Structure 1
Amino acid sequence: MKIAVFTDTFYPQVNGVVNAIRNFNSQLTARGHEITVYTSGKKPGVSKMDGAEVRRYIAFTLPPYPEFEPSPNVIGPAASAIKFKPDIVHAHTQFMMGYSAWMAAKRLGVPLVGTFHTPVDEYVMYVAKHSKMSQRLLKRIAREYQDFFYKRCDIIIVPAPSAAKYLHVKNKPIVTVSNGLNLSRYGPEGREEVRKRFGLTGPVIMHGGRLSYEKRIEGVIDAMPLVLEKVPDAKLMIVGRGPAMKFLECRVKALGIEQSVVFTGYVSDEDFPKMFAAADVLAINSPVETQSLIVLEAMATGLPVVGADSAAIPDAVVSGENGYLFKPDDSKALAEHLTRILTDGELRAKLKAGALRTASEHSLEKSADKLLKVYEQALEIKAKKKSLLQAIRSRRSS
């Protein structure tokens, strides 16, 4: 099968969307499928990665999110994909490359599969920070465009069941396909190396991923003074970088806990599993996860997860089995759960076993099998539509 993948974010950016695309590309190309990725970047060109061809088109930087580099060129990727003649067009983002994917699929008459990774309207407030009126207007525009795009897909994929609530699309099949994990990457390897590098000697709470405002990482930081009252040698390790980094550093300084918080900065995809190995528990306060891959990665390493009871996090975290849930921004409840896990070895062992069981249900192999079934379903839907159109045209001409 020939597959054209469109995305506005790709390596060297490190985020859940990029990880999901790369993981699926590795799996599907290893099974003999041919994939071309169409994306943006500051250095346009053609390269190979994870068995797939990668075509990059000139990008510009979006000031509120300097790491997001969309391309103004929607014609070029579509034209290239038309020459590639894929059986399936798969859009992982609904922005410029998503629009280009729709153009290519429409011209070729092939199925358009859209994975919904990002609820765009939830991010608007960080683009128009100083105007409530602008936020409301942009939120409405973002939601309407989001629905416009996904209504044009033949099948919509969500990485977790709860993500479907962000979509207002009727009469379209919506299927759940977990982004999947390469479970062999996660384990205890690298624990001592990372702990030594960052001076981690006691219990470690980890937060990982892009440091962006909508993730509300300050809620995790605000819990630390309460944790330190009971576990004075605990450390919070914040892994990654992003536009909110200076804001978070100021928050740490304002609370006077600089000695108990470590910002690692950028960590390569290859080294990221070692960061989980160095930790004892993962904390996440984000209310906008469509599937928190970081949660599953932590669980694959055996880490209990204390997560906000919001969006897709409850799809993975079950209180008392593999971690605990708390009301978003309730730093007191978060601190209580973290303290209990860090001070109770028997409980930690129980939650670790539950975390590993949960992660095993999201293996990359299982997810790739499901994705291929979705592609087959999309081809069947498209074939039925074509047959119906042909029948209608025949009746009109007779």
Structure 2
Amino acid sequence: MTTPATPDSPDAAPRLTVLVGCDTFAPDINGAARFAERLSAGLVERGHDVHVMAPNTAYRRSRPGTEVVEGQPMTLHRLPSVRWPPHDWLRFVWPWRSKHYARKVLDAVKPDVVHIQSHIVIGRGLAREARKRGIPIVATNHVMAENILDFTTLPDALNQVVVKLAWADAKRTFALTRAVTTPTRKAADFLESTIDIHGVIPVSCGIDRRNYTPRLAPRESNRILFVGRLTSEKGIDVLLNAVAQLDPSLDVTLDIVGGGDQRKNLEHLAEQLGIGGRVTFHGHASEDDLRSLYSRASVFAIASIAELQSIATMEAMASGLPVVAADAVALPHLVHDGENGYLFEPGDAAEMSARLTDVLTADAEEFLRMQQASLDGVMVHDIERTLDTFEALYRGTPLPE
């Protein structure tokens, strides 16, 4: 990969004005928000003028203003939003107002390209209004039904109707775009088969590997780490049951980082299983604290059944951790069984426990081999490669190799 030209160099491509539309963004903590933040910051660092349209933290519209995100200044257009009570943090813009707000922001910013991160509310309105103005649209899909069904409060039969209508609307939205991307090839296959569209482009969310410090050595203690939202589709109950089945002589501790509506239930389950004293629920952690937890862990464990990529897993790999993951959706794209860790049948706590044992009892040479395999495997997910690809999509030029 070549180093991108700086904005002032003679061969630099023209600066772009990019409008990024998000239904979740800082201060939210989740994979879609973190991707949008890193994408926006990376584009600013490359010299582009970046505007972000996202929900406000209250039902009021703020004047456009500069916010520093991931160390880079960008213009935020915060829209009045309301909180969804069944969810611990989710806020949304009234759907019938999304096109009104889109018109206002598009007329003020006059972007060269619009990049929507969701087809649900803000992205939906932006796509329709940008199309009227002839502005190119790129869409990235971060959504799976399992991510939202727990929070509709509707009966299962109605949930299925809602999901069917939502995917039909997604198809109409994506039909307005220049390109549709999603983080992995498996996620692209899922989207193409779900709504019968073609040509979905896999583009990794990407991480900056320089932010992580791998420690290539056997650990002095057995520490399992999970990072993510504490919601049912993450399968943390499976992880807790797996830890409870480990041989007590391994003297394992479990660190769980993240917040969510299931925390109290999971704390109660840990006590029921007799492992409460060995499990630490950290809640949301600062970036420095999180990097420290990655560096001290022996293995990263994830039982989720709804990952279109998993930034946390990539961060663990960049920290030199072997990974034990559910063989579901896009996780096998990151975890290659027997190479940088192991896969297990989703929901099977006994098999997960066995695979954790394989890592925790590996000799020094085998452990180092898995660590190096994680470091090698995450190289293709470098954020610079991601930015190269999106710049090409924005400009309508050939994609990089």
Indicate conservation of the 8 Å contact 1:110/1:379, yes or no.
Answer: no
Structure 1 residues 1-398: aligned runs within 5 Å: 1-43=16-58, 44-45=61-62, 46-49=65-68, 50-72=72-94, 73-74=97-98, 75-119=100-144, 121-128=145-152, 131-167=155-191, 168-170=194-196, 172-188=198-214, 202-231=221-250, 233-344=251-362, 345-377=364-396
Amino acid paired to 1:133? A
Amino acid paired to 2:175? K
Amino acid paired to 1:36? H
Query: Normalising by structure 2, what TM-score?
Result: 0.87
Distance across 2 between alignment mates of 1:146 and 1:139: 10
Query: Normalising by structure 1, what TM-score?
Result: 0.87
Instruction: Provide the residue aligned with 1:195 in structure 2.
Output: none
Indicate conservation of the 8 Å contact 2:24/2:33, yes or no.
Answer: yes
Using the TM superposition, give the Cα deviation of residue 18 of structure 1 relative to its aligned residue in structure 2, in angstroms.
Answer: 1.7
Instruction: Provide the residue aligned with 2:4 in structure 1.
Output: none
Distance across 2 between alignment mates of 1:164 and 1:366: 18
Indicate conservation of the 8 Å contact 1:3/1:87, yes or no.
Answer: yes
Distance across 1 between alignment mates of 2:167 and 2:249: 44
Using the TM superposition, give the Cα deviation of residue 83 of structure 1 relative to its aligned residue in structure 2, in angstroms.
Answer: 2.0
Amino acid paired to 2:87? Y
Using the TM superposition, give the Cα deviation of residue 378 of structure 1 relative to its aligned residue in structure 2, in angstroms.
Answer: 7.7
The CA RMSD measured in Å over matched residues stands at: 2.2
CA deviations on 1:77-101 (whole Å, 9 max, x unpaired) are 4311232111110001122111222
Using the TM superposition, give the Cα deviation of residue 320 of structure 1 relative to its aligned residue in structure 2, in angstroms.
Answer: 1.3
The structure that is helix-richer by fraction is 1
% same residue: 28
Q: 1:135 to 1:60 in 2, by over 3 A?
A: same
* Structure 1 gaps, min length 5: 190-199, 381-398
Q: 1:12 to 1:271 in 2, by over 3 A?
A: farther
Q: 1:229 to 1:62 in 2, by over 3 A?
A: same
Amino acid paired to 1:336? A
Amino acid paired to 2:238? G
Higher RCO structure, 1 or 2 (CA under 8 Å, sep 6+) = 1
Distance across 1 between alignment mates of 2:309 and 2:40: 19
Distance across 2 between alignment mates of 1:182 and 1:293: 11
Indicate conservation of the 8 Å contact 2:128/2:176, yes or no.
Answer: no
Q: 1:59 to 1:201 in 2, by over 3 A?
A: farther
Indicate conservation of the 8 Å contact 1:24/1:368, yes or no.
Answer: yes
Q: Aligned to 1:93, what secondary structure does the other structure show?
A: coil
Q: 1:217 to 1:35 in 2, by over 3 A?
A: same
Distance across 2 between alignment mates of 1:228 and 1:251: 19
Indicate conservation of the 8 Å contact 1:220/1:283, yes or no.
Answer: yes
* Structure 2 gaps, min length 5: 1-15
Distance across 2 between alignment mates of 1:123 and 1:246: 19
Indicate conservation of the 8 Å contact 1:154/1:172, yes or no.
Answer: no
Using the TM superposition, give the Cα deviation of residue 169 of structure 1 relative to its aligned residue in structure 2, in angstroms.
Answer: 4.4
Distance across 2 between alignment mates of 1:359 and 1:124: 28
Amino acid paired to 1:176? P
Using the TM superposition, give the Cα deviation of residue 246 of structure 1 relative to its aligned residue in structure 2, in angstroms.
Answer: 1.3
